[in-house]
Amino acid sequence: MYNPTILITGAAGNLGGLLANYLKDRNLYLLIHEKDVAPELKKQSNIHVFRADLKQKETLREPLKNVDTIVHFAGVLFKANPQKFLPETNTLYFNNLLDMAIEQQVKKIILISFPHVEGETTPQQPATGRLDGQPISVHARTRLQEEKDLFKKCGKAGITAISLRVGMVYGRGILMPNAAEWFGKRCLLGVWRKPTFIHLISKDDFLSAVTAAIDNPAANGIYHIGDDGVQTLQQFLDKMAEYKHFHKPWRMPLWMILTAAQIFEIFSFLFGTKSLLTKDFIKIGRVSYYGDTMRMKAELLPQLKYKTFEDGKEII
């Protein structure tokens, strides 16, 4: 049986680390920068860990030798002033990876993206896989540019290019829901009043969809990864508070949330710590997003393990 070599960038991060553990019996190359992978992964003979810097293209040559498929997670998120660094870390760094992948004749590149790149979308008017969106946040604008670069360069090089536009992943060990729970249990969790649609996907179904994109030789192009549920961010957080037994999120005026984000960013800038909240996070978070999952169901994941968040509450 053909067992391709899979390279995961950002393998020490939250979702990248989950995928690495999920695929731990496969031929894996794990690309890290500063943070290390779980110790148990380093003990397996089929897993090779490489420390590299996407900013320095030459450091990618050795890790990309003999790689068949790349799954790209790596990026900088929780840092002050994302508008200053994301144009470099999302676009320049990703293009370094693309250029070296082309040189090393990688066969498939999978970019983990999100529906926000099409701008505001809803269950009634879902994202459909377009590349001409006009998103308002720097996170979404730079990720859209990554998608454009992916399809342009891979198209010329004859490499299979896939963008998985993933909704909000939930489940134990997922960073954002965990952070919400931390704040909620201290009665500090707040959300704006305007209802914001979000598209959810369970951790289990997310990992299955990514694996299917790796293994399906016919997979290509853009897929929206999400479940069958329809809910707002406010409804999701209220339900999560009910299931996890913490205080229901406060409905707060936007200016208070933006002020909190500003404080987080100032502290991050002054002390070099992570900023779990930024003004651009608020900007992207207030945009409703929902993707058309027809291609996902037809080619990657015909049967969801958890069709809605209510079905998957056991794994939170």
Bridge pairing between strands 231-232 and 197-198: antiparallel
> Tens digit of pLDDT for each residue in 140-154?
999 999 999 999 999
- Which DSSP state fits 104? T
Predicted pLDDT at 160: 98
* Cα–Cα distances in angstroms (integers) from residue 171 to residues 64, 112, 201, 248, 311, in the given order: 31, 18, 9, 19, 12
All domains of the chain in start order, with CATH? 5-166+202-225+291-302 (3.40.50.720)
Q: Which amino acid is at 289?
A: Y
Q: Closest Cα to residue 221, out of 101, 303, 108, 106?
A: 108
pLDDT surpasses 80 at 275: no
Contact 223, 296 (CB under 8 A): yes
CA–CA distance, 305 with 23 (Å, rounded to integer)? 18
Residue 80: pLDDT over 60: no
Q: What is the pLDDT of residues 285-299, one digit of tens each?
A: 999 999 999 999 999
Q: Give the pLDDT confidence score for residue 81 in this predicted structure.
A: 63
What crossing angle do the helices spanning 203-215 and 14-22 adopt, rounded to 10°?
70
pTM: 0.94
The lowest-confidence range among 79-88, 183-192, 243-252 is: 79-88
CB burial readout 215-248, b (16+ within 10 A) else e: eeeebbebbbbbbebebebbbbbebbbeeeebeb
**Above 80 in pLDDT, residue 82?**
no
Nearest to 289 by CA among 86, 79, 140: 140
Banded model confidence at residue 48, pLDDT cuts 50, 70, 90: very high
